[in-house]
Amino acid sequence: MRSALIVSVFLALTGTAEAQSSSALPDEAILAALIGNTIVGTENKKPYVEYLRPDGWISGRSNGEAYTGAWEVYHNQLCFYYYDETPKMRWWECSKLALGGTRVFWLNDHTASWLLRGNPYGL
């Protein structure tokens, strides 16, 4: 009950009048909505843009620097891993998410990103 209240408050504070649902998406809905599309947001005060390629890889750019990683949908979560400068895997990051119009709400850390159709940045 408390987590539903937190999500509701988060959705209200982030200006999501278009929010369709505050509940976490199931695996199939994550795949249908995000894969083959681009996510644009800010993490640690740095803007990023990521294309979630249908083959399971991520092509991204942050502060003018390109990076790669991989994605996987696991137990109603979208999981990512990214490579550092030494091409070793750092860690998996997973989050439940909800959608509201063109917004992606990362429920684990209460942040939001924009969802763009396709690969408009040519990543």
Instruction: Please give the pLDDT value at position 70.
Output: 94
Q: Among the CATH numbers 2.40.128.640, 3.60.21.10, 3.50.50.60, 3.40.50.10490, which is that of 2-116? A: 2.40.128.640
Instruction: Please give the pLDDT value at position 22.
Output: 57
d(CA 99, CA 107): 10
Domain extent listing, the chain: 2-116
Split the chain (123 residues) into runs of 10 and give each run's mean pLDDT. 37 42 83 96 93 97 93 94 66 90 93 97 96
Do the Cβ atoms of 22 and 7 come closer than 8 Å? yes
**How many other β-carbons are positioned within 10 Å of the β-carbon of residue 83?**
14
d(CA 17, CA 93): 28
